[in-house]
């Protein structure tokens, strides 16, 4: 440890911390800490930071009521790789899914292989549109500095559909229409089987 002396600001901070603790040995006398002398007496001390909250300047803020940006906006802005007319009908809930899987109550370790097997079976059965129900998830954000996304399955399913082996099978993923589950379900449009 270096032998540098504490500045007045360091010493004030230390005194604030020391006031909130209990002495381990209350009988021992308190030793004064050395204070560093400033080289330039005209130099003003650094200003103390004003109080702040983590994330106060962010555009979306923090807290349980704010939803993290991402999933639905990413799916909405994803390029349309299927027939645009069929895509429009699918988004309006006019296309009827030919199969469905409900992942409610499954852990991530259970849901991933179940989803993979379902999608591969659906393609081998020559199905084009299937519905994957994830649920919206419970809000577990306690308002801390790091926001928590609700619904682990809801946020992992689109990722699983975009990585091998499903990436070669899936043509389009879109949030389902309200009549098919809305934000708690996805339409998955599959490529034609060979």
User: How does pLDDT run across 28-74, given as a tens digit for each residue?
Assistant: 887 776 665 656 655 656 667 777 777 677 665 444 444 445 666 77
Going by C-beta distance under 8 Å and a sequence separation of 6 or more, which residues neighbour residue 93? 176, 177, 178, 179, 180
Lowest mean pLDDT among 59-68, 163-172, 179-188: 59-68
pLDDT (tens digit per residue) in 104-160? 889 999 999 999 999 999 999 999 999 999 988 876 666 677 766 678 898 899 999
**pLDDT computed for residue 76 by the predictor:** 73
**pLDDT computed for residue 183 by the predictor:** 85
**pLDDT computed for residue 64 by the predictor:** 40
Q: Which domains does the chain carry?
A: 71-190 (3.30.1370.110)
């Amino acid at each position: 440890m270096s032998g540098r002396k504490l500045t007045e600001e360091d010493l004030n901070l230390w005194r604030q911390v020391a006031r909130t603790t209990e002495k381990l040995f209350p009988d021992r006398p308190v030793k004064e800490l050395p204070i560093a002398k400033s080289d330039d007496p005209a130099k003003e001390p650094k200003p103390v930071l004003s109080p702040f909250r983590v994330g106060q300047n962010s555009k979306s803020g923090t807290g349980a009521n704010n939803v993290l940006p991402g999933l639905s906006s990413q799916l909405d802005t994803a390029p349309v790789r299927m027939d645009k007319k069929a895509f429009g009908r699918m988004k309006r809930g006019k296309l009827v899914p030919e199969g469905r899987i409900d992942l409610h109550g499954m852990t991530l370790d259970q849901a991933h292989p179940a989803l993979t097997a379902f999608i591969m079976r659906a393609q081998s059965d020559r199905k084009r549109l299937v519905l994957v129900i994830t649920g919206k998830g419970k809000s577990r954000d306690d308002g801390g500095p790091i926001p928590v996304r609700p619904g682990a399955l809801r946020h992992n399913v689109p990722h699983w559909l975009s990585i091998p082996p499903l990436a070669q099978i899936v043509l389009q993923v879109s949030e389902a229409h309200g009549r098919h589950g809305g934000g708690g379900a996805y339409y998955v449009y599959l490529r034609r089987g060979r």
